[in-house]
Structure 1
Amino acid sequence: MGLPVRADDGRLLVAEEWGDPSGTPVLLFHGTPGTRLGTLLPGLAEQHPGFRFLAYDRPGYGESLRSPGRRVADAARDAAAVADAFGVERFAVVGRSGGGPHALACAALLPDRVRAASVLVGLAPPDAAGLDWYAGMTPFNVREYGLALAHLDGRDPGGLERDLAARADAIRRDPVRLLDDLRAELSPHDLPIVEDPRVRAALLRTYQEALRVSHHGWLDDCLAFVRPWGFDVASVVAPVLLRHGLDDAFSPVSHTRWLAGRIPGAEPALVPEAAGHFAAQWALPDVLRWLDGQGAGR
Structure 2
Amino acid sequence: MISTPDRDMQTVYFHGLPGSPMEVSLFGKAVADRLAGLHLIDRCGPDAVPAGEGYFEHVARQLGDRFPGRPLRLIGFSLGASAALRTAPHLGSQVLRIDIVSAAAPLTLGDYLHNMAGAPVFRSALISPALLRMVTWLQSKAVVALPGQLYSALFGSARGDDAALARDPAFKSAMIAMLQQCLGAGAAAYRREIMLYTQQWEADLDRVVQPVWVHHGREDNWAPVAMASDLAARLPHCADLCLLDDMSHYSTLRAVLLTV
The TM-score by the shorter chain falls in which range? 0.7 to 0.9
Which structure is higher in RCO with an 8 Å CA cutoff and minimum separation 6? Answer: 2
Which of the residues 18, 21, 36 maps onto 1:33? 18
Instruction: State the secondary structure of the residue aligned to 1:280.
Output: helix
More helix by share: 2
Report if aligned partners of 2:136, 2:183 keep a CA contact under 8 Å in 1.
no
Report the Cα distance in structure 1 between the residues aligned to 2:73 and 2:123, rounded to whole angstroms: 33
Report if aligned partners of 1:107, 1:114 keep a CA contact under 8 Å in 2.
yes
Report if aligned partners of 2:232, 2:241 keep a CA contact under 8 Å in 1.
yes
CA-CA distance at 1:286 after TM superposition: 5.5
Q: What's 2:229 paired with?
A: 257
What RMSD in Å do the two structures reach over aligned CA positions? 2.6
Q: What's 1:5 paired with?
A: none
Equivalent residue letter for 1:134: L
TM-score, normalized by length of structure 1?
0.74
CA-CA distance at 1:164 after TM superposition: 0.6
Q: What's 2:4 paired with?
A: none
Q: What's 2:208 paired with?
A: 236
> Taking structure 1 as reference, are residues 174 and 85 closer, same or farther at Cα in structure 2, changes over 3 Å only?
farther
Report the Cα distance in structure 2 between the residues aligned to 1:74 and 1:101, rounded to whole angstroms: 12
CA-CA distance at 1:150 after TM superposition: 0.5
User: Is 1:63 the equivalent of 2:42?
Assistant: no
Q: What's 1:109 paired with?
A: 90
Report the Cα distance in structure 2 between the residues aligned to 1:176 and 1:226, rounded to whole angstroms: 28
Instruction: State the secondary structure of the residue aligned to 2:197.
Output: helix
Q: What's 2:3 paired with?
A: none
Report the Cα distance in structure 2 between the residues aligned to 1:90 and 1:144, rounded to whole angstroms: 36
Equivalent residue letter for 2:200: P
Q: What's 1:44 paired with?
A: 31
Q: Percent identity?
A: 22
Instruction: State the secondary structure of the residue aligned to 1:52.
Output: coil
Instruction: State the secondary structure of the residue aligned to 1:132.
Output: coil
Report if aligned partners of 2:17, 2:79 keep a CA contact under 8 Å in 1.
yes
Which of the residues 72, 79, 83 maps onto 1:91? 72
Unaligned 5+ runs, structure 1 = 1-21, 152-156, 289-298
Report if aligned partners of 1:115, 1:238 keep a CA contact under 8 Å in 2.
yes
Q: What's 1:172 paired with?
A: 144
Report the Cα distance in structure 2 between the residues aligned to 1:181 and 1:67, rounded to whole angstroms: 33
Deviation track 1:178-225 (CA, whole Å, cap 9, x = no partner) reads 312213332254221122244334322322222332521222222111
Instruction: State the secondary structure of the residue aligned to 1:43.
Output: helix
> Taking structure 1 as reference, are residues 136 and 208 closer, same or farther at Cα in structure 2, changes over 3 Å only?
closer
> Taking structure 1 as reference, are residues 62 and 180 closer, same or farther at Cα in structure 2, changes over 3 Å only?
farther
Report if aligned partners of 1:90, 1:114 keep a CA contact under 8 Å in 2.
yes
User: Is 1:162 the equivalent of 2:147?
Assistant: no
Which of the residues 115, 119, 123 maps onto 1:142? 119
Equivalent residue letter for 1:224: L
CA-CA distance at 1:135 after TM superposition: 4.8
TM-score, normalized by length of structure 2?
0.84
Deviation track 1:58-103 (CA, whole Å, cap 9, x = no partner) reads 1xx24233644x34x7334314304523556321100111101111
Which of the residues 119, 122, 132 maps onto 2:111? 132
Q: What's 1:271 paired with?
A: 244
CA-CA distance at 1:230 after TM superposition: 7.8
Unaligned 5+ runs, structure 2 = 1-6
Report the Cα distance in structure 2 between the residues aligned to 1:189 and 1:283, rounded to whole angstroms: 11
> Taking structure 1 as reference, are residues 113 and 45 closer, same or farther at Cα in structure 2, changes over 3 Å only?
farther
